[in-house]
Structure 1
Amino acid sequence: MKDLTLQLIDQVCQAYQQRTPLMIQGNNSKAFAGRTPHKNKAKDNVSTLSTAAHTGIISYQPVELVMTARAGTTLAELRAALDEHQQILAFEAPDFDGQATIAGTLATNLSGPARPWTGSVRDMVLGTRLINGTGEYLRFGGQVMKNVAGYDVSRMQAGALGTLGVITEISFKVLPRPEYSTGLTLELPASEAIVLMNQLAGQANPITGACWYRDQLHIRLSGAARAVDKTVTSWSQKYGFQQATQDNFWQQLQHQQLPVFTETGALWRFSVNSTADDLAPAVHQTGIEVSDSLIDWCGSQRWLRTPETLAEQQNTQLQSLQRLAENARGSVTLWQGGDRSQEINQTLNPVLERLHKNVKQAMDPAGILNPGRLYSWM
């Protein structure tokens, strides 16, 4: 447990004065996320600002279901403290071999299988302390569940990849651990699985996971044992589900250990309407080979694995997949692989791009915090 706030502020202040770009990282477990930060036109180097040693749980109030921790505190450490009180991080972010930190999880906006039912990491954040691009130490939000007036800067950090500030502390909600959990499986093609999982999600049952992978629909039920058992019996009789035994599928899914996440090639992440058709056939029709695919979050998150492509073809592929994502009322990101010096995120419309630039200018006027990590122009 170590407080490095003053050292971090000093490093940002020096970088601001010298206009030196800073590459912000914790344990670097998600180095693959985002673009490669670019250099300042006047500088030929990028300095690293590490929050890895800025660790420790500052406060934990089990009765209030609130915890505050420093940026470099690992999710594994947080879960160990919560286990003593039968509580959990409801957003189920991946651990990445125990290296994932709470700040890195917020910066990448990573959430696990229960996200549609229990909320994302962004939904759990109550407040943050952060250092802006001029070295000012700021506080946003707090440690209580209340409405926020104006810009919710704490939640703006979700998915910003460190471009809007150096997060030093996060206060967030936790939840009680469900009494009982079990998994169900049913062999189905993707198109039928999408229809069924959305149908099941609309029922008043304790569902906390709905995922399709390699011709298997996986459903997770969590809650009171009586309610879970009743649902298992009902859905087994009505739909033909089988109860999973000694199945670590949900753990592998949460921690991104399934083959679709670990195989070679490029991994594309789609965020779309949950009822959208299976995207794999449509991607094939564009001439892009799909080697593996997974449908999660009851259909609203899709992962597609494709072979690595030549750098000069990447932009064309992104444009093709972006059109498919827009038709499914969503967006696409090149999550892993590819040329990270090119654009990897959905192209924004002019209004959203201008808003992004305005917020960046307010938080980091010299553009020294992870420049280009999210977009080349940010």
Structure 2
Amino acid sequence: MLIEAVSTDDSERLVAEVSQAQSHGTPLSIRGGNSKAFLGRPVQGTPIDTRSHRGVVSYDPTELVITARAGTPVAELAAVLDAAGQMLPCEPPEFDGTATVGGMVAAGLAGPRRPWSGSVRDFVLGCRVITGRALHLRFGGEVMKNVAGYDVSRLLAGSFGCLGLITEVSFKVLPKPRALGSLALDLEAGEALRELSAWRPAGLPISGAAHVDGRLHVRLEGGTGSVASAMDRIGGTELDPRFWDALREHRLAFFDDPRPLWRLSLPNASPLTPLPGDTLLDWAGAQRWLKSEAPATTIRQIAHAAGGHATCFTPRVDAERFSPLPPTLLRFHQRLKQQLDPRGLFNPGRLYVDL
């Protein structure tokens, strides 16, 4: 796919729109590519579009750091890195090229490599953000240890735009692995989880493990020798590596099922729990996708009992998208919102009705 690189600094317009909203107390609905509009509660507010504020600001492959504006398509960022033999290891979804850098950080969604490489938050070094007081501030920088007190840059990851309008982000990147192998084994889900547990102490270079349709899919990345050795040990049949892109982008046949889609996030090595529907296990079982018509309370009770939580990826009138917060944690979120966005301008209610 040909990626057209465009660089435009439109921050003055964004600051002016936030300033006007701040003076009138007008709520704002932040949008980039709108690829993740299905996540969270609908927002009633004046749209503020970040897509014109785009482009790579700086990139030094020798320092493994790239800085890009919020409206930059994730696909464009990935293409720039790929040309230099590098990558953003958390492999965020691109959603047919519509996902933007700002939305990637705001949503915090990561791909199949997440348990072995880290989350989006782990690769954010610094950012620029427009606050609820219409101040355009910079937090963090371009090195890993540069923060005292709250790390606001990483705090914005997963905030869904409720704390401020991200305009620019600096990321730590890594070289692409020298070798890659993908295998598929015919195993039931319980067997697959037991095999993964057995492989863990051996230090195999696994960077993806998903179970769907009665097959365990495994990705191996690293040095040529270590990948070849691991493939010999695991066995199975070779798998088209495009499987991992399809999984990340929700293009597998599993996701075509018309029933509501749920994501259960569970502790590592959680035992297999019966779920009311069809499942796809990702992240070696820590992320479990569920297609089900079961009531939201039932699904969330199962996730909670296993030590995790459930998120609804399909708009439903009978369910909040995110699991309710305990009262103490909700108060903490509310205090953060009050500090960074005192007038409640940004995406009010996107995460929870009280935020």
TM exceeding 0.5 = yes
Instruction: Supply the distance in 1 between the matched residues of 2:126 and 2:191 (Cα, whole angstroms).
Output: 41
1:57–1:68 CA contact under 8 A, matched in 2:
yes
Q: Provide the C-alpha distance between the structure 2 equivalents of 1:195 and 1:111, rounded to a whole number of angstroms.
A: 24
* Alpha-carbon separation, structure 2, partners of 1:17 and 1:261: 44
Cα distance in 2 for partners of 1:126, 1:347 equals: 29
Q: Which residue does 2:310 correspond to in 1?
A: 332
CA contact (8 A) 2:69 2:168 kept: yes
Range with greater deviation from structure 2 (270-279 or 69-78): 270-279
Once the two structures are superposed, residues 322-361 of structure 1 have per-residue CA deviations (whole angstroms, 9 ceiling, x without a partner) of 2211211111111223139x52211111110110000011
Q: Mind listing any 5+ residue stretches in structure 2 that lack a counterpart?
A: 1-6
Task: Give the superposition deviation at 1:164.
Answer: 0.5
- 1:295 paired with 2:294, answer no
User: Which deviates more, 319-328 or 163-172?
Assistant: 319-328
For residue 181 of structure 1, what is the aligned residue in structure 2?
180
1:164-185 C-alpha deviation (Å, 9 max, x unpaired): 0000000001110111111111
Tell whether the 8 Å contact from 1:133 to 1:368 is kept in structure 2 after alignment: yes
Aligned to 1:93: 92
Where does structure 1 lack aligned partners over 5 or more consecutive residues? Answer: 39-45, 285-289, 310-316
Conserved? CA contact 1:180–1:222, under 8 Å:
yes
Amino acid at match of 2:27: P
Query: Structure 1 residue runs of 4+, over 6 Å off?
Result: none
CA contact (8 A) 1:181 1:221 kept: yes
Once the two structures are TM-superposed, the CA of residue 247 in structure 1 deviates from its matched residue by 4.8
CA distance in 2, matches of 1:13, 1:220: 48
Name the structure 1 match of 2:320.
343
> Per-residue deviation at 1:208?
0.6
User: Displacement of 1:207 after TM fit?
Assistant: 0.9
Per the TM alignment, residue 89 of structure 1 is displaced from its structure 2 partner at its CA by 1.3
The answer to whether the aligner puts 1:26 opposite 2:24 as a matched pair is no
The CA distance in 1 between the partners of 2:152 and 2:115, in whole Å, is 23
Give aligned pairs, total. Answer: 349
Which residue is 2:4 aligned to?
none
Superposition map of 1:59-138 within 5 A: 59-138=58-137
Give me the TM-score of the superposition, normalised by structure 1. 0.89
How far apart are 1:142 and its partner, in Å?
0.5
TM-score, structure 2 length as denominator? 0.95
CA contact 1:343–1:376 (8 Å) conserved in 2 = no
Match of 2:270 among 276, 285, 294: 276
Comparing 185-194 with 156-165, which one deviates more in the overlay?
185-194
User: 2:187 touches 2:215 (CA, 8 Å); kept in 1?
Assistant: yes
252-261 or 358-367: which moved more?
A: 252-261
1:32-86 superposed Cα distances (whole Å, 9 cap, x missing partner): 1111014xxxxxxx21000011101000010010000000101111122112211
CA RMSD, aligned part only? Answer: 1.5
- Quote how far apart the aligned CAs of 1:197 are: 1.8
Q: Which residue of 2 aligns with 1:223?
A: 222
